Structure 1
């Protein structure tokens, strides 16, 4: 068996869920870490790996697999022990529903929240020169992503997209609480890909000082505690925590919370 190679970033939510699955399954892998703020994903050598300029990317047995949901399903099929997909077909469908929801909406909206609240400050400091900022934006292959990034950077908490993203996550928290009240895990009685997929997004909200958001849903805090006790979390997320990013998110999140809470209360 050829070694697994993962192109990833320490604080990328998509990379985090892949690393957790790798850790949970006790798989050895070669790390190729990219600094996304410095634009490593746009360098020619990585664009040959993934023309979209996005992480994570998994290489295994001569194949290159992109998109984090496809990667973790591949890992669970190729390395089935311990299994992270239920045997029951209905529960498998529930797992896939959570992951489809992530790909269709939740991932995009956590980016909106993260950039509007915190990351824009880091980006604007790094690219203080207008030409440098335009150069970074022009390197983004997808014009829609580039346009969205420009809007988040310029408008921050005043971005019209922020309210929409908060609505999406408000509904998620309600649905997670309902699901967890019926089994302890998102897809029933056992830990699954759904749990590892959602965890990075909830931890991101914690890091942005938004945990008060779900104070009426104690099942979510209980689930978070169980997740952080897994080897998958410790090796796939905790060991890769970038404390300068976490400090930035904590500081800017605390400053932004009164404005964000007012937007949530008005939903």
Structure 2
């Protein structure tokens, strides 16, 4: 086991002031997986859903996004380990989605999974979800081989939805989002992240790794503030989200019980988490009142999936 990894994880635990809570029934005091995540992070919710589906115990550390805990130096160091292993470079621009494949690796976000059995640090929620599913031994694969291509296509589709813009930016027309999200138009939220990076860049000016990490994150959020929240960009984001619901409506009319096939797959977990976020952001008009009956029925079904209930609906702080 890498001593450097043990030291960074110990530092992050210390920064958070906790050794973490074990979620699920574990036969060991030290579960194989250790997850650094946030209740309201849509990417974290996907990972928690896959862990819950397989009943895999893990040590849980919850970071507070709004208090800036994802910017803690130890979290950035841990993320950089995962970014290096992932390859592809650090993020420099913000696409509006959470997709690492589209934007690059972000060193100051969640989730991050540590596999103590193999000594790996995994970043990118999609990669983490696939990894967990591949290591699960219960036979309930969320990506069965004969459906894998179709499932992966849906996962990729959801992974590129404009979640950040819909969360932080002012929607076109009347703003029906939760009261806590109506205070700004997204620019201030992004610029607060730039300022946080500036703080740490000044504090750790002699640490090349942290300078690299905070500089990448600063570039991403400055780009977001400049590009993502104009009325035109927000209109495009909401159009893209509605087009996603149109796509799903057509998929659900194929005759299968679920998005791909007749059993719950990773496609259902991904779409389920996505639609619950849309519902939470008060954009049910995409499918309500007969607009997309198959999607509306799917949302009702999703809310009964045990893994979704455990990881999102009943998880404290997961909904805004």
Larger Cα-atom Rg: 2
Corresponding residue SS for 1:142: helix
Q: For residue 141 of structure 1, report the CA deviation from its aligned partner.
A: 2.8
Aligned to 1:85: 143
Alignment of structure 1 residues 65-104 onto 2, 5 Å: 65-81=122-138, 82-88=140-146, 91-103=147-159
What's the CA shift for 1:186? 1.4
**Structure showing greater relative contact order (alpha-carbon pairs closer than 8 Å, 6 or more residues apart):** 1
Residues matched between the structures, number: 233
Question: For residues 137 and 112 of structure 1, what CA distance do their matches in structure 2 show?
Answer: 20
2:90 aligned partner: none
- Counterpart of 2:167 in structure 1 is 114
Q: Distance in 2 between matches of 1:111 and 1:134?
A: 16
Question: Of 252, 258, 269, which residue of structure 2 is paired with 1:185?
Answer: 258
Larger mean Cα displacement after TM superposition, 112-121 or 15-24: 112-121
Q: Distance in 2 between matches of 1:102 and 1:140?
A: 28
Q: Distance in 2 between matches of 1:21 and 1:58?
A: 13
Distance in 1 (alpha carbons) for counterparts of 2:151 and 2:316: 26
Q: Which runs of 5+ in 2 are unaligned?
A: 1-27, 81-106, 171-176, 199-213
CA gap 1:7/1:38 in 2 versus in 1, 3 angstroms = same
Distance in 1 of aligned mates of 2:251 and 2:74: 43
Question: Is the partner of 2:114 in helix, strand or coil?
Answer: strand
- Once the two structures are TM-superposed, the CA of residue 50 in structure 1 deviates from its matched residue by 0.3
Distance 1:98 1:33 in 2: 28
TM-score computed with the length of structure 1 as normaliser: 0.78
Secondary structure, aligned partner of 1:102: helix
Counterpart CA distance in 2 for 1:133 and 1:69 is 24
Secondary structure of 1:49's aligned partner = helix
Q: What's 1:55 paired with?
A: 110
Following the alignment from structure 1 to structure 2, what is the Cα–Cα distance between the partners of residues 161 and 98? 24
Alignment partner, residue 271 of structure 2: 198
Q: Structure 1 runs of 4+ off > 3 angstroms?
A: 117-120, 137-140
The equivalent of 1:263 in structure 2 is: none
> Structure 1's 240 and 93: CA in aligned 2 closer, same or farther, altered over 3 A?
same
